[in-house]
Structure 1
Amino acid sequence: MKRVMFYFSLIVIILLSFKPETLAKEAYKSMDNQECLIFDFNNSDETEDWRILNDGVMGGLSQSQIDYSDSNTAIFKGTVSLENNGGFASTRTIPRPYDLDGYNGILLRVKGDGRIYQLRLRTSDRLDGVSYRYPFATEADTWMKVSIPFHECVPVFRGRILEDVEPIRPEEIQQIGFLISNKQAGEFQLEIDWIKAYTQKQDNFNFP
């Protein structure tokens, strides 16, 4: 009986040691672990991880750049030209392992110009080759959160959908990028607040 009372008292002491605020912090920590921050651009050095690749490699005349803003965001902007069989502009990260094993997709907070962009993911460090694309529409001058499940990213090569390529493996992702194409000629601008990976899907929505 004494042993039972001892263990009961021990359990009570342990429970009392967890104050409500402690329990709240533990719950928040658990929720926070559902996401992994990849880029938040709070440091201007982060934009140095990104490179530009436009249709000039095919003779096109499109131009683009990625800048760091005073609001701690990255801005991918430029002009898409359809001349000389061109028509696309893109930016992507320097190849490195992102260690996204166990995550189910990518979250973006972006502000666009009403055009359609693509998130591009690559599982190799090559300049060319297979990439996995996911198109998303933007609303002009409106912050949006975009949820991109990995299983909905389609393998493509130079714009052609590949049928005999296996789905993307998150643990093998080495490059993250954005692309604008599909004959959307003219000036464009996509502002990027942050990029995260998630384990539980969230609905897309606009920010006020």
Structure 2
Amino acid sequence: MAAFLTRCLTQAKQVRHFLEASSFVHQSSARVSVYEYDRKGGYRKEKKPPVKEMLKHGFKELKVELGHFKEEVKEKLECDVFMDLQHGDFEYQWRMNSLDVIESWTVTSDMDNSEGQSKASLAFSKNNTALFHGYLSQEVPKDGVQKRSGYCNIRSPSKFKAFKRKVPYDWCPFNCLLIKVRGDGRPYMLSIGMDRSFDINWNDQYNYTLYTRGGPYWQIAKIPFSKFYLTSKGRIQDKQCAIQLEKVSFFGISLGDGAEGPFCLEIDSIALLYDENHSEEFAYEMYQANPAHVGT
């Protein structure tokens, strides 16, 4: 028995020395945690300008930011009384009737990230509305990495206070989204990004599909916030929860229906609506599952 244990120990030492001497074997500890190193999910491409240029630009912005800070303090001291909303009250969040509003939105496609050949743009139309149009391509780059392709997206600007302090949108008083569009018959994905602290929740979004009608007529869609479901990096999460309307980071519209060809979506306005007849908190079942299996 002792000889057998000695032989096993000797063989284990030989295997260990072989692994340490081998250059093609990488030894590392098992990963037991999830860590997101970037809020952009690896898509961050911006580079910091030189310090001299940053200081020069900062002094130019100082006067403007001081004006914003003055208005912020004034609003804080006035302490606006919260108005009780009545049934049918709404508030425009974005009216796409000016070039400045449209230019503040961000347009992306798979071509911008070297993941496809789709093209998209957001233009100011002759009807004083925003025109989200382009070409959706299903061609997959031959890089050996991408398996599928074809998406275009527009995203609203983030909300900032004075001195570029980023703050979330607060949509708490309302319970429905009101959007006026004129589509081409394609389904578009509406996304509400969340402003959450922990890195595992940085990519949390709430989504809902908007089915548009082709033709010359405008379409007004009223969508309760309770109908939006939770996703992360494009995957529907097993553990669902109601949306936190006081922590909205951005609003976006995406196209990725898998149908190659041109698309066109005309957007007039995006508003928030209060419907007193809608009392639903969340439309989907929230299962009581093992936290070790469904915890993220």
Q: TM-score, normalised by structure 1?
A: 0.75
Q: Confirm whether residue 67 of structure 1 aligns to residue 130 of structure 2.
A: no
1:142-198 CA-partner distances (Å, limit 9, x unpaired): 310011111111111233101224321111112011011120211000000111001
Shift of 1:58: 5.8
Q: Confirm whether residue 88 of structure 1 aligns to residue 151 of structure 2.
A: yes
Contact kept in structure 2, 1:79 and 1:187, CA below 8 Å: yes
Q: Confirm whether residue 160 of structure 1 aligns to residue 235 of structure 2.
A: yes
* Partner of residue 50 from structure 1, selected from 94, 105, 117: 105
Contact kept in structure 2, 1:58 and 1:86, CA below 8 Å: no
User: Which structure has more strand as a fraction of its residues?
Assistant: 1
- Rg (Cα) greater in structure: 2
1:28-60 CA-partner distances (Å, limit 9, x unpaired): xx7597101111122220012210122232611
Q: Confirm whether residue 123 of structure 1 aligns to residue 123 of structure 2.
A: no
Contact kept in structure 2, 1:138 and 1:144, CA below 8 Å: yes
1:7-27 CA-partner distances (Å, limit 9, x unpaired): xxxxxxxxxxxxxxxxxxxxx
1:76-155 residue pairs with structure 2 within 5 A? 76-84=132-140, 85-96=148-159, 97-124=168-195, 129-141=203-215, 142-155=217-230
SS at 1:174's partner residue?
strand
Aligned-residue CA RMSD in angstroms? Answer: 2.4
Contact kept in structure 2, 1:147 and 1:201, CA below 8 Å: no
Q: Confirm whether residue 195 of structure 1 aligns to residue 270 of structure 2.
A: yes
Identity, % of aligned positions = 28
- Give runs of ≥4 in structure 1 deviating > 6 Å: none
Contact kept in structure 1, 2:108 and 2:152, CA below 8 Å: yes
User: How far apart in 2 are the matches of 1:68 and 1:174?
Assistant: 24
User: How far apart in 2 are the matches of 1:199 and 1:59?
Assistant: 40
SS at 1:171's partner residue?
helix
1:90-127 CA-partner distances (Å, limit 9, x unpaired): 1101222332112102100100001111111101399x
Contact kept in structure 1, 2:87 and 2:274, CA below 8 Å: no
2:89 alignment partner AA: Q
1:112 alignment partner AA: G
User: How far apart in 2 are the matches of 1:168 and 1:55?
Assistant: 28
SS at 1:53's partner residue?
strand
* Partner of residue 178 from structure 1, selected from 238, 241, 253: 253
Shift of 1:201: 7.2
RCO higher in structure (CA 8 A, sep ≥6): 1
User: How far apart in 1 are the matches of 2:88 and 2:213?
Assistant: 30
Unmatched segments (≥5 aa) in structure 1: 1-29, 203-208
1:50-90 CA-partner distances (Å, limit 9, x unpaired): 10122232611111011111222111111111111211111
